[in-house]
C-alpha cells in the first residue's frame, strides 16, 4: 500500500500529541517493521517478541509509550515519539501518512442507479453497482458491484466495499465501513415445523447499524423476524461472523472472526466475543463480558464476566479444568493406582487383625 504524505517529526509529534526525543527536522513518509525499516521510515513496537529489533532499526523514528521512552530511549538508534497510548498514536500516524487523497467523487456511468434513489452531496458509486429506491448520505462511497435494495437508508461518510449486499429494510448510520462480500438483511433462518416439514416464516424485521461500526468481509447480518437486528455504535465485527435474526448487539462490542450468534440473543455494550465463539438463540451476554475463543454460550452471561468452554462457565474455573484435562490420563491413573495400594493395605490389615484376634482369643482360651 502506498503512503500519500510525508511529515517532519516536529509536525508528526504535534499531530499525534507525542513528546519528541531526537531531531525534529527529520522527515518520515511511510511505516515499516523495525527489522525492515530504512531511512525515512517510521516504526512501532507492536509485537513484544520482535521488540529487540528496535535496538538496531534503521528507521527514522519509533513510536513508544512513556515508560519505554524513560527507560530505553537512549538505547534506540533513532528518534523516539513518546506517547500515553502508543497504539492510538500509531493509528493516528498511519492515518496521516496513508490517508486517502480525496478523489473527485463520481457516480460511475456504468452503475444502475434508480431514478428513485436519493443521493447526498459528494456520493461516489462504482461501476456495476445497483442502487434501488434508497437514501445515501453525504460523502458516502459505494463500491463496484455493491447491491443496494429498495428501502435502504445509508448515512454520511459510509464506505461500502465491492460486492457488499444491503437488502431492503437495512438502515446504516454514519461513518460505517463494510468490507467486501458482507450481506446485510439476508433472510433469517426461521422455519415453522409442520409435521415433518419446515415452513418458512417470512422475516419482516430489518437490520439497523449505528454510527462508527466496522463490518468484516463476508459477514452475514440477518434481517429480524419481527423486530430489527441491531448493531450498536462503535461495534467492530470481524470477517465471516454470523449474526442471526433479531440479535441486539450493544455499543462498542467486539465480535472476532467466525463468531456465530443465534436469533434474538442480546450482546451487551463493550462485550468481547473471541474468535469462533458460538452463542445460542435467546440468551443475554452482559455488558462488558469477555468470552474466550471457541466457547459455546448456552445461557445468560453476567455483566463483566469472563467465561470460556462449552457449555461456557467462568474462565478461571475453565482454566483449571483445562489443565486437568490435559493430564487427565495421568491423574486418573494415579488415583486408580493409589486406590489399589489402599486396597492392598486394607486387606493386609484385615488379615493381620484377624490373625492377631485369633492369637488373642487362642491365648485367652488356652489358659
328-357 binders of its own copies (CB under 8 A): 328-329, 331-332, 335-336, 338-339, 342-343, 345-346, 349-350, 352-353, 356-357
Q: Interacting stretch for its own copies, rule CB under 8 A, among 15-23, 53-61, 116-124, 166-174?
A: 166-174
102 lies in the site for its own copies, by CB under 8 A: no
Contact 168, 186 (CB under 8 A): no
Size of residue set near its own copies by CB under 8 A = 134
258 lies in the site for its own copies, by CB under 8 A: yes
| Greatest CA separation for the chain | 124
105 lies in the site for its own copies, by CB under 8 A: no
- Closest CB to its own copies among residues 173, 309: 309
Which residues pair with residue 193 across a beta bridge? Answer: 198
- Within 8 A by CB and 6+ apart from 167, the residues are 149, 152, 183, 184, 185, 186, 223
CA torsion 38-40-42-43 (nearest 10°) is: 10
Which residues, numbered 238-257, are part of the site for its own copies (CB under 8 A)? 238-240, 242, 244, 252, 254, 256-257
Contacting residue, 296, 302, 303, 306, with its own copies by CB under 8 A: 296
Contact 164, 154 (CB under 8 A): no
Contacting residue, 2, 25, 101, 115, with its own copies by CB under 8 A: 2
Q: Interacting stretch for its own copies, rule CB under 8 A, among 16-24, 53-61, 65-73, 237-245?
A: 237-245
Which residues, numbered 53-82, are part of the site for its own copies (CB under 8 A)? none
Which residues, numbered 299-328, are part of the site for its own copies (CB under 8 A)? 309-311, 313, 317, 320-322, 324-326, 328
- Closest CB to its own copies among residues 91, 118: 91
The string of DSSP letters for 274-337 reads -TT-EE-TT-EEPTT-EE-TT-EE-S-B-TT-EEETTTTEEHHHHHHHHHHHHTHHHHHHHHHH
Residues present in the chain in total: 367
The rounded distance, in Å, linking the Cα atoms of 39 and 118 is 49
Amino acid at each position: 500500500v502506498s503512503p500519500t504524505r510525508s511529515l517532519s517529526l516536529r509536525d508528526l509529534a504535534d499531530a499525534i500529541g507525542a513528546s519528541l526525543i531526537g531531531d525534529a527536522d527529520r522527515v518520515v513518509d511511510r511505516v515499516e517493521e523495525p527489522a525492515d525499516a530504512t531511512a525515512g521510515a517510521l516504526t512501532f513496537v507492536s509485537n513484544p517478541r520482535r521488540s529487540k529489533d528496535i535496538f538496531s532499526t534503521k528507521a527514522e523514528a519509533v513510536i513508544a509509550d512513556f515508560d519505554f521512552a524513560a527507560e530505553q530511549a537512549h538505547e534506540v538508534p533513532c528518534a523516539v515519539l513518546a506517547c500515553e497510548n502508543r497504539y492510538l498514536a500509531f493509528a493516528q500516524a498511519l492515518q496521516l501518512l496513508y490517508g486517502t487523497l480525496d478523489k473527485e467523487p463520481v457516480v460511475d456511468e456504468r452503475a444502475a442507479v434508480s431514478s428513485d434513489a436519493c443521493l447526498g452531496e459528494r456520493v461516489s458509486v462504482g461501476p456495476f453497482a445497483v442502487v434501488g429506491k434508497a437514501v445515501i448520505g453525504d460523502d458516502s462511497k459505494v463500491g463496484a458491484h455493491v447491491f443496494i435494495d429498495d428501502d435502504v437508508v445509508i448515512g454520511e461518510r459510509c464506505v461500502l466495499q465491492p460486492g457488499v449486499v444491503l437488502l431492503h429494510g437495512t438502515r446504516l448510520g454514519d461513518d460505517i465501513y463494510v468490507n467486501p462480500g458482507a450481506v446485510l438483511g439476508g433472510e433469517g433462518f426461521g422455519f415453522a415445523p409442520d409435521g415433518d416439514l419446515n415452513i418458512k416464516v417470512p422475516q419482516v424485521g430489518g437490520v439497523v447499524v449505528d454510527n462508527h461500526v466496522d463490518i468484516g468481509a463476508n459477514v452475514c447480518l440477518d434481517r429480524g423476524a419481527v423486530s430489527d437486528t441491531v448493531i450498536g455504535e462503535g461495534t467492530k465485527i470481524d470477517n465471516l461472523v454470523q449474526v442471526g435474526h433479531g440479535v441486539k448487539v450493544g455499543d462498542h462490542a467486539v465480535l472476532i472472526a467466525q463468531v456465530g450468534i443465534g436469533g434474538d440473543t442480546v450482546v451487551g455494550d463493550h462485550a468481547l466475543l473471541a474468535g469462533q465463539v458460538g452463542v445460542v438463540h435467546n440468551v443475554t451476554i452482559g455488558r462488558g463480558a469477555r468470552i474466550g475463543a471457541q466457547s459455546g454460550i448456552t445461557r445468560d452471561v453476567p455483566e463483566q464476566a469472563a467465561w470460556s468452554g462449552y457449555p461456557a462457565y467462568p474462565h478461571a474455573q475453565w482454566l483449571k479444568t483445562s489443565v486437568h484435562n490435559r493430564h487427565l490420563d495421568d491423574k486418573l491413573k494415579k488415583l486408580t493406582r493409589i486406590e489399589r495400594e489402599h486396597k492392598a493395605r486394607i486387606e493386609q490389615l484385615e488379615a493381620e487383625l484377624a490373625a492377631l484376634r485369633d492369637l488373642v482369643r487362642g491365648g485367652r482360651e488356652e489358659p
